[in-house]
Amino acid sequence: MTLSELKRKFVIGFECLCTHNIKGPCSAKRRVEKVQTNAIAMSGPDYGTRLGWLHWPKATELIITELPNGVELQFRHSPAILRYEWLTRQN
């Protein structure tokens, strides 16, 4: 999966389960609320009324691994790993 393909998946209303974030394993539902060319903003119960932002790096700085029902994102110059499981089905 390319970064462009991944960005097309994260449309407003798309829901996923964050199973790993920069703090480690988690289980937090996320819903895409805003989409920009350089980032998306998601809501979740752990964010309260605020939005959590995922800023897209350059494609060369991101390792994208497709999972059976989701994706894992690794940042080349950071130990951060993000894992998402899809809750919204798309064609």
Q: Count the neighbouring beta carbons within 10 Å of the beta carbon of residue 26.
A: 14
Residue from 18, 54, 17, 19 nearest 33 by CA: 54
List the pLDDT tens digit at each of the 91 positions of the chain. 999 999 999 999 999 999 999 889 999 999 999 999 999 999 999 888 999 999 999 999 999 999 999 999 999 988 889 999 999 876 4
Q: Is the pTM of this model over 0.85?
A: yes
Please report the domains of the chain, with CATH numbers, ordered by start residue: 3-86 (2.30.29)
Q: Cβ of 90: how many Cβ atoms within 10 Å?
A: 8
